[in-house]
Amino acid sequence: MITNNKVVTFHYQVNEPGKEVIENSREFGPVVYLHGHKGMLIGLEEALVGKRAGDHFSITLPPDKAYGVRREAENLRVSLKHVIGYDKKTKIVAGMPVQINTPQGPREVTVVKVGLKTLDVDTNHPLAGKTLNFDLEVVDVRDATEEEIAHGHVHGDGGHHH
């Protein structure tokens, strides 16, 4: 059963109510996380408490339980050299999601305006401000190791390798 300090593996599919699927983990592999260590969307952790391997269910999360509310004035001007995977052949247009390098690590942002050597981007998560349906299937639940609990993250398959 899912409680704090369990390592949880699950599949998910996410969409806005009445719209098509945005992401389906069956296309790239299940999500693995350590429960109770803030490594997962708060609304998903709350919904997964007490569930077991094999449980399959759907929930609807408001933005504040998912990717947060959209913040205005979150636009940022970044140099093209900070865009991950960018080369001169890359055609970047407004509205496109791109990943940029930040001091806190890679971050997914949305292009607002394209300049000669810079981009204006919106740093809100692309799914911020959206109410989302999640279809969840718990694949596996196991006890975390002492080391995983100390580190606050999962080791091995789907987790950290160090």
**Footprint of Zn ion (CB under 5 A):** 151, 160
Min dist. Cβ of residue 5 to Zn ion (A): 14
Which is nearer to Zn ion, 11 or 153 (by Cβ)?
153
Minimum distance from CB of 74 to Zn ion (Å)?
31
98 burial level (CB within 10 Å; 0-12, 13-18, 19+): buried
- Shortest distance, position 11 Cβ to Zn ion, whole Å: 24
Structure tokens at 105: 């690590």
Comparing CB distances to Zn ion, the nearer of 70 and 151 is 151
Select 30 or 159, whichever has its Cβ closest to Zn ion.
Answer: 159
What are 61's strand-pairing partners?
Answer: 132
Q: Looking at beta carbons only, is 37 or 151 nearer to Zn ion?
A: 151
Q: Tell the smallest beta-carbon distance from residue 149 to Zn ion (Å).
A: 10
Whether the Cβ atoms of residue 98 and residue 76 lie closer than 8 Å to each other: no
At 134, list the tokens: 């999640």
C-alpha to C-alpha distances, 75 to 101, 119, 121, 153, nearest whole angstrom: 15, 10, 5, 31
Of residues 44, 38, 36, 43, the one with CA closest to residue 7: 36
